[in-house]
Amino acid sequence: MQLDLSEKVALVTGSSKGIGWVIAQTLHAEGCRVALNARNSLDLAAASAQLTGAIGVTGDVTRPAEARQVVNEVLSTFGRLDILVCNVGGGRSVSPGNETAEEWQRVFALNLWSATNSVEAALDALTISKGVIVCVSSICGLEVIPGAPITYSSAKAALHAYVRGIARPLGKQGVRINAVAPGNILFDGSVWSRKLTEDVPAVQTMLAKDVALGILGTPVDVANLVAYLASPRSSFASGSVWTLDGGQVHG
């Protein structure tokens, strides 16, 4: 896309597979030096080996100390950090009405603390580079999606509030932050991959009823928007949640 990202150093959390992996690939293709992150060292090693010059940094960024260790390893290897993509997250939880204190903690750690921990750990480096943060969220944080776990929707709504609220103090340090809120994204291992295996007509009915474009999105769709927001081409964008859902959200 010629986004002027050559030689920028990017850390993508949760990037050994799925959307995060495609984001890492896209940034690498745009010329970034990429650091991938995940908790599973074997998956991470296999992914990072496919991108020339990339490194894999094992760590659980839902834990503040490990988030700091991940960032420190990136800085030790590359000497700087220009782009932070907070992609750790997951929508699997209990059905609405069955929440517990433990489940609230787990889902918020995965979908909110992972981002806030990573931003805190990376902020000094990003201030030096006048860098960019992009958080991968969900349309579940924008409106009530029938059947979506309440824990997950609440955590993503909180992430949106964080991005909007932190943008002003970060901006005073020359750092931009935005979020991308994808809708229904299809990839191997996704909920939509499972649903297509179980009941294609039901998925087709949902798409026709709820999604203006009538299709599922792809990780490439998400990665392209993330790359744009991480680039100088979006230099006036900060504090926004960018919806990417084929026209599903009503507001």
- Identify residue 145 by its one-letter amino acid code: I
The first and second tokens of residue 61, run together, are: 């960024």
Catalytic residue list contains 228: no
Q: Which residues contact 167 (CB under 8 A, 6 or more apart)?
A: 176, 177, 238, 239
Tokens of 51: 């991108």
Whole-number Cα distances in Å, 99 to 41, 96, 150, 152, 224:
31, 7, 8, 11, 35
**DSSP codes joined into one string, 65-85:** HHHHHHHHHHHHHHS---EEE
- Residue tagged 């834990």 (tokens): 63
Structure token digits, residue 57: 């940094």
According to DSSP, the residues that pair with 12 across neighbouring strands are 36, 85
* Distance between CA atoms of residues 150 and 178, nearest Å: 23
Catalytic entry in 152, 162, 187, 228: 152
**b (16+ CB within 10 A) / e for 191-209:** ebeebeeeeeeebeebbee
Active-site amino acid positions: 152
